[in-house]
Structure 1
């Protein structure tokens, strides 16, 4: 089978397309013929050796996949060959086949195609966990989403709106903000138009945001914590800016605020039943037309490194996917 391999930590242009043996599923594992793979920011960290997980070389990046079950190992009863599925792989999805733990594989909703399924799992799963289990977002609260035109940002905008929040989307350009508006944001903030705190206060009559969703980190977190409401919750999703900020904790004291880490990957392992309940609700909202993954670009497997680089440079809008098998839909 063909796979795009990382043989040493480095940049996306060091990945190589090679033929390697097909994997074999063990007990409680599933072998999937991958049709589409999603591209996520942690994939860029993985190949650079900056992620908390470091697979043995060589490995294929790609943390989520959509495809068809080719074979199942002993002990797998809820899946069978021929099932259309979406899977959280950790890595390995930039390949024609991947072996995944059965617990990380879910049947695709009938109204999803392979591209949509590959674009759905990580971003919507992360944002749902952040807003439900971590922030406990309530109807009528104000939700500020930073990086609102990216994959998790857009998912947070959509989910926040469905949950009844007043959603403020923040991004770096008018073009990106229009994407967030189309996803359901009520208000828009452009970073270049002045102080983030002043812009948030102007839109909230000085109260600030009840929940702040931050996948960017760096200078934006430094500014965002100053725009938080009394009893507000700041969600730490990631650090796409490249800098992990040092939080002045006195600001949390002054606002009675909470800073909440969001490690969705660990949540899927430690609280699988709650994660599956989240997916059931997400799939229901998708079926009702309330969630619509935005796929802005599709790449061939040989060019998946270009997708990783676009994500690293924060040039991507919405979700990027990799077509593993030509003609997949």
Structure 2
């Protein structure tokens, strides 16, 4: 079978190699999956660079989330051959491959309301958004949510979840195309950081009060702007640092303005509270069924294009979700 593998750390386009490898065999408690769609995430690029919090042994196959068909069951594994599921394959055997194996206890049923590419994009980004907004920030109907990078993969999920929660959503983007995407997924107000004064625009949109909740996957300047336009008793959810700059929090400023800084490492819930992850999946499935959330898949690329896709996501030149699918699906 074919699988993308990283043999040394570096930029995705340079270090990902499409190899012929033996088909995997499921061990006890494992499922053999045929990959139908694998979503591209920013952490895939960090893995290639050796900058992610997890550093799998070389060579490894990136691809953190997928929609797949169960092909075979290992001894003692529960599942139904032919069932469509969502999974997070354990590295070093990620999802940018024809097949992979996973722990049977970690799979979820794929929502019937979403196609393969949409379903593949539902898990990590939308779980992160749901935990960030509901578990950490405790967002309430009628509040104002500010989402940085609102036209990107992580941001579009947060926008949809914010609207589903009854919030007014302000999206910050970079450029006209991402502004169009942000409006398409539901932003009430869109601010282009390239041409607008972000702080002034947020204050104007909120009557000077500021945003009740800020969802920040960017860091750097975006975080600094957030501290200047967060409301009294507001909450800033720190999701990641796509800008490449990890800001230093001025705790005296948080004290004086009376706001809360909340960290979110969604992956920890898989080990600390896996039942909460399953509950979240059930909630997301319900939201998808009624059309409240729907991953915006901007590109469906064939397996052969995965390295380029990961690089473009890393460079911030994509909008919405980029998903790796079989060649026949990409051609549609």
TM-score, with length taken from structure 1: 0.96
Residue 100 of structure 1: which of 75, 87, 102 is its match? 102
1:150 corresponding residue in structure 2: 152
**Structure 2 segments unaligned to the other structure (5+ residues):** none
Kept in 2, the 8 Å contact 1:35–1:114? The answer is yes
Residue in 2 that maps onto 1:40: 41
Match of 1:202 in 2: 204
Determine the C-alpha separation between the residues in 2 that align with 1:189 and 1:124.
Answer: 22
> Following the alignment from structure 1 to structure 2, what is the Cα–Cα distance between the partners of residues 170 and 281?
26
Contact kept? 1:66, 1:86, Cα under 8 Å: yes
- Secondary structure at 2:45 match in 1: helix
Q: Is the 8 A contact 1:144 1:209 kept in 2?
A: yes
- Deviating more after overlay: 61-70 vs 18-27: 18-27
1:86 alignment partner, SS class: strand
Instruction: Show the counterpart of 1:326.
Output: 328
- Alpha-carbon distance in structure 2 between the residues aligned to 1:80 and 1:183: 35
Contact kept? 1:33, 1:96, Cα under 8 Å: yes
Three-state SS of the structure 1 residue aligned to 2:328 is: coil
Contact 1:300 1:322 in 2 (8 A): yes
Question: How far is 1:325 from its partner?
Answer: 5.8
Tell me the secondary structure at the aligned position of residue 10 of structure 1.
coil
- Cα deviation, residue 76, structure 1: 2.4
Q: Does the Cα contact within 8 Å between 2:114 and 2:294 map onto a contact in 1?
A: no
* 2:178 counterpart (176, 179, 187): 176
Unpaired segments ≥5 residues, structure 1 = none
User: Could you say if the C-alpha distance between residues 326 and 270 of structure 1 is closer, same or farther in structure 2, counting changes exceeding 3 Å?
Assistant: farther
Q: Deviations over 1:85-114 (max 9, x none)?
A: 111225410011111122321111222221
Quote how far apart the aligned CAs of 1:276 are: 1.2
Q: Deviation of residue 26 (structure 1)? A: 2.1
Q: Quick one: distance in 2 between partners of 1:219 and 1:80?
A: 48
| 1:253-307 alpha-carbon deviations (Å, 9 max, x no partner) | 1121111111111112221111111111111111111112111112111210111
Partner of 2:83: 83
Alignment of 1:107-122 (within 5 A): 107-122=109-124
Q: CA RMSD in A?
A: 1.5
Q: Where does 1:119-134 land on structure 2 (aligned, <5 Å)?
A: 119-134=121-136
Give the total of aligned pairs.
328
- Counterpart in the other structure of 2:161: 159
Higher mean C-alpha displacement, 204-213 vs 192-201: 192-201
Question: What whole-Å deviation, never above 9, does each CA across 1:14-59 have from its counterpart, x for those lacking one?
Answer: 2111111122222322211111110000000001100011111111
Equivalent runs, 1:1-40 vs 2, <5 Å: 1-13=1-13, 14-40=15-41
Decide which moves more: 28-37 or 190-199.
Answer: 190-199
- Alignment partner of 1:185 is 2:183: no
Secondary structure of 2:7's aligned partner: coil
Correspondence for 1:57: 58
Write the distance in 2 (CA, Å) between the matches of 1:325 and 1:34: 12
The runs of 4+ residues in structure 1 deviating greater than 6 Å are none
Counterpart in the other structure of 2:228: 226
Q: What does the per-residue CA deviation read over 1:132-172, in whole Å, with 9 as the maximum and x for residues that have no partner?
A: 11111011111000000111100111110010011111101
* TM-score normalized with structure 2 length: 0.95
